Amino acid sequence: MSNKPKFFGTDGIRGVAGSFPLDRAMVGKIGRALGRVLRATSGTPRVLLGQDTRESGEWISRTLATGLRAEGAEVTYAGVITTPGVAFLTRHHAFAAGVVVSASHNPYEDNGIKVLARTGMKFSEDAEVEIERALEQVDAGGVAIPEAPLEIKPGLLEDYLEFLASLVPSGKSFHGYRLVVDCAHGAASRAAPALFARLGIEARILHAEPTGRNINLQCGSLYPETMQATTQSLGADLGVAFDGDADRAIFATRPGRLVDGDHVLFGVAPFLAQRGLLKGGAVVGTLMTNLALELAFARHGLALKRTAVGDKYVLEEMLRSSINLGGEPSGHLIFADVSLAGDGFITLLHVLWLLSETGQSLDAVVSGYRPFPQIIRNVRVRAKKVLEGVPEIAQAIEECRGALGARGRVVVRYSGTEPLARVMVEAEDAATVEFHAAQIAGAIDAALGLR
C-alpha cells in the first residue's frame, strides 16, 4: 500500500454524499476501520462526533457511529457544532478522537469526514494510511450491529462557548461593539448568537436558518457580499462571515472593505510582536499568501514561512518552527497558543482585542496593506497529471515566471478536494496578471480539461 492516503485529502475524506466514498456501505466501513485503529491503542476508545447542517449529516453520523460501536467504541454525539468546537472538546474532555461530518465551505450536496486526534489536530497522514489499511480488513458486508438514533449529549456546546468567552483578556470587555455576523446557514448558526449574547456584543445575525440544503448558498466566507453591504449600511464596527463549519472568517470594515486572512495577519502579527507575544519571529503562510504581505512583514523585521496550501501543512510548520501564528488568505488562521485548530470565532476575538487595545477601527488597522493584484483561475480537469510534465503547460508557466521575475509569483497546483487545477498569478500590474493567468489556464484546459 502507498505511504500516502488514497481516500483522505488535505481536509479528510470528502465527496458527494451518497456516492463512493461517502455511500452508506463505505461510511460504515470507515467507522469500523477507525474504531479498530483506536481500539489498538485505547482499549475502549471514546469518540466525539459532531456535524454541520447538511441534510446528509444525520445519516452519515448515524452510520459512522454504528461502525464505531461495532468495534467497541463509545460514541458521544455533540449534534451540530463547529469543527474547531469538536477540536476543543476532544482535547478538553480527553476523547481518543473527534470526528466531524462536514464539507466546510462546499455546497450542501457534498459532505466529508474529518478525523481529529486527541490533541485536537487532524490525524497525521501516517494515521490516515493506518485507517485505510484497516479498511481493507473490514467485512465488506456492512456493520455488525443495527443502526440506532443518536442522542445529543447536553452541555458540550456550552463548554465550548465558555472556553471562547475565557479568551477575552482579563479586564477587557467587548461590550458595545456592533457586529454583522454571517453564519452561512452552517454550524455557527447555533454558536454565534449564544456567544455574542454572553459577551454583550450587539450582533446582526445573517444566514442562520439552516434547511439542510442552504449551507454556504450565496452566503458565508465564500460569498461575503451581503455581510459586506449590511456592515456598511448599518455602520457596524465590523462584519464577519464564517464558512459552513466556522473554521474560516472573512471580515468587512465599516466603509465596506473586505478583509481576508492576509489582512488579518498584517494587523495581528505586528500587534503581537510589539507585546512580545509572537513566537519564532515569523508567521507561517502558504504558497497563496500575497507577496505584499511578505514584504510588509519584512519592514517589521518579521519573516514569512510558506508551506503547501492547507491548514494541516501550516500547522505542521508552526509546530516544527515553534511559531504561534499562521494562516491562509481564505480566512483560516491558527493561534497556536490558544488552539491547534483554525477557528473563526478565535480569529474574531483576536481582531476585537486588537481594536480594543489600539482604539482603532478595523479599516484603520488594515489601511496600510495593499495586496498585489492576484488572480486565481480554476480549471476542471479529467485527470490530475503532473502539470509541469505537460510541455505546453510547462512552457506557459515558464514564460510567466520569466516575465514577472522577483516582483511576482505564479503557483499552479491541484485542489486537494476537487478535480480542479488552480492557477494563481500575482504581480504589481493587473493587466500582466490577467494575461498570464489566462495563458496558463488555457494551456491546462487544452491539455487536461473536460472535452
pLDDT digits (tens, 9 = 90+) for 67-99: 999 999 999 999 999 999 999 999 999 999 999
Query: Is residue 184 domain-shared with residue 274, that is, in the same domain?
Result: no
280 domain-assigned:
yes
When mean pLDDT is compared across 196-205, 280-289, 415-424, the lowest value belongs to 415-424
Confidence at residue 415, expressed as pLDDT on a 0 to 100 scale: 87
Tally of structural domains, the chain: 4
Q: Collect all residues with Cβ–Cβ distance below 8 Å to 186 and sequence separation of at least 6.
A: 52, 53, 210, 215, 216, 220, 242, 243, 244, 245, 246
Query: Is residue 127 domain-shared with residue 172, that is, in the same domain?
Result: no
> What is the average per-residue pLDDT within 107-135?
94
Which residue range(s) make up the domain with 427?
A: 374-448
**Do residues 111 and 56 touch, judged by C-beta distance below 8 A?**
yes
* Cα distance between residue 246 and residue 102, in whole Å: 11
Q: Give me the half-sphere count of Cα atoms (radius 13 Å) on the Cβ side of residue 224.
A: 26
> What is the average per-residue pLDDT within 359-384?
95
The last residue of a domain, from among 113, 129, 155: 155
Share of the chain above pLDDT 70, in %: 98
Helices (H), ranges, 43-82 = 57-70
When mean pLDDT is compared across 153-157, 188-192, 404-408, 443-447, the lowest value belongs to 404-408
pTM of this structure: 0.91
Confidence at residue 417, expressed as pLDDT on a 0 to 100 scale: 74
Query: Is residue 70 domain-shared with residue 150, that is, in the same domain?
Result: yes
Query: Is residue 293 domain-shared with residue 419, that is, in the same domain?
Result: no
Query: Is residue 102 domain-shared with residue 145, that is, in the same domain?
Result: yes
432 domain-assigned:
yes
The last residue of a domain, from among 114, 137, 155: 155
273 domain-assigned:
yes
Query: Is residue 181 domain-shared with residue 247, that is, in the same domain?
Result: yes
Whether the predicted pLDDT of 52 surpasses 90: yes
Confidence at residue 154, expressed as pLDDT on a 0 to 100 scale: 97
Q: Kindly report the backbone phi and psi dihedral angles of residue 333, in degrees, each rounded to the nearest multiple of 5, phi listed first.
A: -115, 150
Confidence at residue 143, expressed as pLDDT on a 0 to 100 scale: 47
Catalytic member of 102, 104, 221, 339: 104
Query: Is residue 163 domain-shared with residue 146, that is, in the same domain?
Result: no
* Cα distance between residue 84 and residue 87, in whole Å: 5
Query: Is residue 197 domain-shared with residue 239, that is, in the same domain?
Result: yes
> What is the average per-residue pLDDT within 135-160?
82
Q: Which residue(s) pair with 267 in the sheet?
A: none
Confidence at residue 43, expressed as pLDDT on a 0 to 100 scale: 84
Of 143, 4, 151, the C-alpha closest to 69 is 143
Query: Is residue 300 domain-shared with residue 431, that is, in the same domain?
Result: no
2 domain-assigned:
no
Task: Provide the CATH number for the domain around residue 397.
Answer: 3.30.310.50
pLDDT digits (tens, 9 = 90+) for 378-388: 999 999 999 99
Task: Provide the CATH number for the domain around residue 322.
Answer: 3.40.120.10
* Cα distance between residue 38 and residue 44, in whole Å: 8
The last residue of a domain, from among 140, 155, 170: 155
Query: Is residue 35 domain-shared with residue 75, that is, in the same domain?
Result: yes
Q: What average pLDDT is seen over the chain?
A: 94
Confidence of residue 354 (pLDDT cuts 50, 70, 90): very high
Of 37, 14, 9, 5, the C-alpha closest to 245 is 14
> What is the average per-residue pLDDT within 335-346?
97
* Cα distance between residue 63 and residue 422, in whole Å: 34
Query: Is residue 265 domain-shared with residue 249, that is, in the same domain?
Result: no
Confidence at residue 407, expressed as pLDDT on a 0 to 100 scale: 84
4 domain-assigned:
no
Confidence of residue 215 (pLDDT cuts 50, 70, 90): very high
Query: Is residue 297 domain-shared with residue 328, that is, in the same domain?
Result: yes
250 domain-assigned:
yes
Q: Catalytic: 170?
A: no
Whether the predicted pLDDT of 361 surpasses 60: yes
6 domain-assigned:
no
* Cα distance between residue 76 and residue 86, in whole Å: 11
Whether the predicted pLDDT of 246 surpasses 60: yes
Q: Give me the half-sphere count of Cα atoms (radius 13 Å) on the Cβ side of residue 341.
A: 29
Confidence at residue 355, expressed as pLDDT on a 0 to 100 scale: 97
339 domain-assigned:
yes
> What is the average per-residue pLDDT within 120-124?
91
